[in-house]
Chain A
Amino acid sequence: GAGVSQSPSNKVTEKGKDVELRCDPISGHTALYWYRQRLGQGLEFLIYFQGNSAPDKSGLPSDRFSAERTGESVSTLTIQRTQQEDSAVYLCASSLERTGRGYGYTFGSGTRLTVV
């Protein structure tokens, strides 16, 4: 597609429930990131996929968080047993960046997650 698509746009869930967030990157973009942004804060790195390499999961805050990506296509971020502190906007970005040549990243509009 023309841009990075994230769904759902908004999600309200009850504490303790699992949620799945989806990201459709731009076709051909090998690099894909997930970030979390709490209200009024900066972007917190969660996970990074680069082609078929093993993902960099160093930013995932707990084992309740996991993410998958099939090849260079769709990625899903799953949060199990959601807690109120998980409430945030979850942003996905993709890029042609592969070898440090220097490409910008295209962001989706994010999923606003509210845990009640």
Chain B
Amino acid sequence: SQQGEEDPQALSIQEGENATMNCSYKTSINNLQWYRQNSGRGLVHLILIRSNEREKHSGRLRVTLDTSKKSSSLLITASRAADTASYFCATVYNSGGSNYKLTFGKGTLLTVNP
């Protein structure tokens, strides 16, 4: 399975601290994406990093990608209580012909304590 695996499964930090979540995957990818989910409903796309990129920033988010280790990390700096959510990594890979498939890991539950 291409499914990514996040680490840790759960993370609890204090407001103002940085949060780092990791993701590993198994085969070659086209791009890797991170999503956030509040209260078990729809996911929100946070950031996308292509396979030829190594680092990307968006506001307080920093994503790195190491294709040699098949891993990615998501860093949230200066965390806020409102960042409390589940975070998922998702990989896009060629599943045959011109089809590109999106698969998700199991997620990291981040709790930011005020």
Contacts and interface: CB of A to CB of B under 8 A. Distances in A.
B45 A106 contact: yes
Contact of A42 (B30, B31, B94, B104): B104
Contacts of A91: 41-43
A33 B31 CA distance: 17
Given A102-B92, A105-B33, A97 B41 contact: no
- What is the interface of chain B mostly: helix, strand, loop, or mixed? strand
A97 B102 CA distance: 10
Instruction: Place the interface of chain A in its size category.
Output: 20 to 34
Given A41-B106, A42-B88, A50-B99, A89 B30 contact: no
B50 interface: yes
A48 B93 CA distance: 13
B82 interface: no
Nearest to B100: A100
Interface in B87-105: 88, 90, 92, 94-95, 97-105
A107 B43 CA distance: 6
B41 A110 contact: yes
Interface residues of B, number: 29
- What is the interface of chain A mostly: helix, strand, loop, or mixed? loop
Given A91-B43, A97-B102, 20 more contacts: A31-B100, A42-B3, A42-B88, A42-B106, A42-B107, A43-B104, A53-B97, A56-B99, A95-B102, A97-B92, A98-B100, A99-B100, A100-B92, A100-B94, A104-B45, A105-B43, A107-B45, A109-B41, A109-B42, A110-B41
Interface of B: 3, 30-31, 33, 35, 40-45, 48, 50, 88, 90, 92, 94-95, 97-107
Interface of A: 4, 31, 33, 35, 37, 39, 41-43, 45, 48, 50, 53, 56, 89, 91, 93, 95, 97-100, 102-110
